[in-house]
Each structure stands twice: as C-alpha cells, then as structure tokens.
Amino acid sequence: MKITPEVRAQILAKHKAGMSQRALQKLFNLSAGAINNITKGISQNLKSTIAKGTQYLTELSDLNEYEREAVTQVVSDNARAVTFFKQTAIKNQIMANRLLQEAGDLGDIELHSRITARNKETILGKNYELQEQGALFAPTQIIIKRDD
C-alpha cells in the first residue's frame, strides 16, 4: 500500500495524540517498520491538549443545555478572536520589519520598537518575558553619529 501524504498526516496526528505504534499498524494496515519510519523521533506532544479538552467537556457535561450552548458559543468566539489577533500581529510585524529597513531617523526605529512590543504582547501575552540563554552578556553601548 502506498502511503499518501494524507495518510501520513493522519498517522502523525494519531501518534502525537498518544496512539501506540501497534494500534496505528492495525488501524492503517501497515507494517511495523512503515509506522516506525513515519513516527520515528516524533513526540506524543498532544497529551496536554487532550487533557484540557477532556476537562472542558467534563465540565460542560455538568451544565444544562442552555448553559452548554452559551459556553460553547463564547469559547468559539474567543478562539476565533485570539486567532485573528495573532495573525494580524504577525502581518503587522512583517510590515514593521520592512519599514525598519527603510528607517530614516530615530523616530522610525522607536515606532518599530513600540509595534514590536505590542505584537509580542498580543502573541505571547502580557506577562511573558524573554529569558536569556547561555552566558551573561555584557551591556553593549551603541553610538549613533549623525553627519550634518
């Protein structure tokens, strides 16, 4: 059996969700070697998402029909809004980076800095802090000379 890109994607998704190689082998009627080649080095990293989804559905089951519908609608709207703002922030950052290449004065650089800070906050959240990795770096002094 030829493994199409679609079947490969399905195998990877089910593996990431926690399905064993033996179960994948039976489900897709493939050899152990074929499944192993596809899933080699791929971690089962969707387990926390599954746990959160299970908790969400469990909590929904305790609500009445109208509350379930209301919660589901608000969650759906919130998810769409978050996705929209993240995509918009990425587009804004791409445009800001293009403008930075053509920056003519410090005002343009400061504007880029503010846009970048807002986009970082949109994508990563307000309390996210980038942490330095590796050795501590000495402060760097930047001197800008202007020819008049």
Condensed to tens digits (0 to 9), the pLDDT of residues 4-43 reads 999 999 999 999 999 999 999 999 999 999 999 999 999 9
Instruction: List the one residue out of 88, 113, 89 whose CA is nearest residue 103.
Output: 113
pTM of the predicted model as reported, rounded to 2 decimal places: 0.55
Write out pLDDT tens, residues 86-120: 888 888 888 888 888 887 788 878 888 888 888 78
Residue 90 lies in a domain: yes
Same domain, 46 and 67: no
Same domain, 73 and 43: no
Range of the domain at 118: 63-124
Residue 44 lies in a domain: yes
Same domain, 31 and 58: yes
Instruction: List the one residue out of 116, 138, 134, 117 whose CA is nearest residue 126.
Output: 117
Same domain, 113 and 94: yes
